[in-house]
Amino acid sequence: MLPNLLLLPMVVLQAPAPLPVVAAKDLPPAPRGPMVPERRDAGAEPGIIGRTRRGARSGPSIPALQLPAGSVRVTDKIPDISGWRAYAIEVPAGGKVKVHLVEGRKAWFQVLAVNAWGRDEAGLLQNRIPTGEPQATYENRSQETRTIYFIVDTLDVNMIGEPYAIDVIRD
């Protein structure tokens, strides 16, 4: 039994440090948000609530919050009937970033990654392959810093106030 006790401190030392937690209400608004993506609304439904959601999603762009430098956990909630929230992030040349929804009703969410025009581009295409997890990644293969937008989207209508948390991990 004694040899097993000696290994315990090694396991504890190898645990990753927890990410700093930031509340979305403390994040500044981004200078601009992405254009509305041209994708099917998985939470669409007929009726007045469905029409209201479609109307809220028909604007030219989605307001976004600016994510801070470094890896963080962001706690937030769905702000309105549109059912989504966008986050802007600056990714340096050669940088990688992953956004993963880790708390909340994970099966009711998806994470999309788009450029400023609401479209896929090089470094985002791998997100088209379903993984079963609400997450998206970006790899900046260009020689300049790029602004990418991660959108937390709901798969059900009328999820106003639904809490969630995302891990933003930079490499």
Write down the pLDDT at residue 138. 96
Q: Where are the domains of the chain?
A: 20-170
- The fold adopted by the segment(s) 20-170 is Jelly Rolls (2.60.120)
Write down the pLDDT at residue 13. 55
- State pTM to two decimals: 0.87
- Burial of 76 per CB tally in 10 Å (0-12, 13-18, 19+): buried
Q: What is the pLDDT along the chain (171 residues), one digit of tens a residue?
A: 555 655 555 555 565 678 999 999 999 999 999 999 988 887 778 888 888 988 888 888 999 999 998 999 999 999 999 999 999 999 999 999 999 999 999 999 999 999 999 999 888 988 888 888 999 999 999 999 999 999 999 998 889 999 999 999 998
